[in-house]
Amino acid sequence: QAGWTTLQEGLAALDLDAVEVAVGRDMAIPDPARPEDEASLPIDAAESAVATRAAYEALGIQIDALFVANNFNAQRLEEEIHWVAASLRAADTLGAKVVRIDAAMTGQQSLPRDRRVAIYTEACQRALAAAENPTVPLGIENHGSQGNDPQWLKAVLDSLDEKQVGIALDPANLYWEGQALSRVYELVGELAPRVVHVHCKNLSLPGTQGTGGHRQFWQYAKAVKPLYEGDINQRRIVETLAAAGYCSGLTIEEEVLAQFDQPARQEVLRKDVETLSKLVRDDGI
């Protein structure tokens, strides 16, 4: 999207050496040395995951996290559990620190909260059991209406081992869901002890200035801003996480690029990197 041909080329241009990669249902991830739509590398078995890790490391790239877009209330639930469990096993071999999973699931609008908590918790437990004592935690992203319900999220976390399941925190998702900006900062503080991964982006919502009252899920294409702009104070987020002992990755999830022409997209990403790098240096993450 930013104009670089390969993952390797883009990371090198940004002076980065780590990346979060999406895992397909075929248990494959992007080949960093080839265009994304042309090639992938398998991680479906221990041997293939070892070879894929070697391919990344030969280019000086670390796989920081795996991204799995599962659905824990799907009709074919066994396939979802297998996907997450297999990703957990692969993550350990790949050297990834977390497997990001999705909070959203089929039927969440029509089921009571306690039932949704039970369904999700049981699926997590089954995936962890199938992975056979994984050393890498699951990180539930606060994604969609269910994932951004603090009561649901806290109930799920309270039901699961804190060493095995945490939060893949996205503060901007809380804001877009309709929380007042002041409440977003409060929730980040409340959730910080369970944070195992972080997505960083920014939004600007009309007429809010942190007081709430904005429409839930307001026009995302207009709301999204570069990481270093928007309403969310990234320094405040990083300081709160650092104070809670968080010392893992800050993943740039820049979804504003479609608003820019090239090569301006690359410059946006460079400024994102500069912004987070300074915060990391200042706060010691």
pLDDT value, residue 213: 53
Mean pLDDT across the chain: 94
> What is the per-residue pLDDT across 189-204, written as a single tens digit (0 to 9) for each?
999 999 999 999 999 9
Q: What is the DSSP string of 209-253?
A: TTS--PPTT--HHHHEE-TTSSSS-HHHHHHHHHHTT--S--EE-
Q: Which residues are within 8 A (CB) of 46 and not within 5 positions of it... i.e. 6 or more apart? A: 89, 93
pLDDT value, residue 215: 53
Q: Which residues are within 8 A (CB) of 25 and not within 5 positions of it... i.e. 6 or more apart? A: 79, 83
Candidates 155, 233, 152, 242; CA nearest to 195 is 242
Two tokens, residue 155: 């109930």
Distance from C-alpha of 169 to C-alpha of 63, rounded to nearest angstrom: 18
Candidates 16, 28, 114, 127; CA nearest to 71 is 127
Distance from C-alpha of 96 to C-alpha of 86, rounded to nearest angstrom: 13
Integer Rg of the chain from CA: 18
Two tokens, residue 167: 């939060």
In the predicted model, what is the mean pLDDT of residues 150-161? 98
Distance from C-alpha of 96 to C-alpha of 244, rounded to nearest angstrom: 22
Cβ-based neighbour number of residue 261 at 10 Å: 7
Two tokens, residue 188: 């980040």
pLDDT value, residue 38: 87
Structural contact between residues 21 and 8, judged by C-beta atoms closer than 8 angstroms: no
pLDDT band at 206 (very low <50, low <70, confident <90, very high): confident
H or E segment to which residue 252 belongs: strand 251-252
